[in-house]
Copies of this chain bind each other. A is one copy, B any other.
């Protein structure tokens, strides 16, 4: 049966299947959404469905006030966090959440991931932020909505731009990532996991390892994202 959201559901489905193919999740631990800015809705994985059983038509369509617009299934339990991010950060096209091992380990350690090298600087110029645990009254309240606020507050407190820094760790929980579309959000989840693993190993080898110096951060970020970028095809 046709739906005006068919293409959006398909984008969302494909991105969710990538989480699995990239070894970023086991079982049902993770979810990706994709937004349609014109229609002001997003498509998201249904809750608790194993990736091997997931079908494009299972994807649920939600508006920014968390109303189900289309779909038979219950959406991801993290849906309100996605809605909050789409509503407040206008340039985001996709959001991903995983429990990828090294990303979760840094989140559980409640540590920002220091920028130790060019792999990191190829993607962002700041340490990867770890948002502190939420206040108890917010946890007992509208938890997933408040997770959105928690992310936004963290970016405000640290003076970060969500357009440059497309990833965050939620203390004691795990990573959220985003990007221009759902595929880019998943890409950022994979990059984060790899950078988290490299940083872990770096500190094991040299507990006194220094952050990358500013000139190298700038050089690598600019050659990929700056005005005169020369990485990739035109």
Q: Which residues of A contact B (CB under 8 A)?
A: 26-29, 46-49, 73-74, 77, 99, 101-102, 104-111, 116-119, 133-134, 136, 139-140, 143, 172-174, 187, 190-191, 194, 197-206, 209-210, 212-213, 215-216, 219, 223-224, 230-234
The answer to whether A216 and B133 have CB atoms under 8 Å apart is yes
CA distance A73 to B202 in the complex (A): 35
Task: Specify how many copies of this chain sit in the oligomer.
Answer: 4
Q: How far is the CB of A137 from chain B (nearest CB, A)?
A: 9
- Specify which chain B residues have a CB less than 8 angstroms from the CB of A27 in the assembled complex: 187, 190-191
Q: How far is the CB of A231 from chain B (nearest CB, A)?
A: 5
CA distance A143 to B48 in the complex (A): 39
Closest partner residue, chain B, to A58 (CB atom) = B233
- Specify which chain B residues have a CB less than 8 angstroms from the CB of A106 in the assembled complex: 205
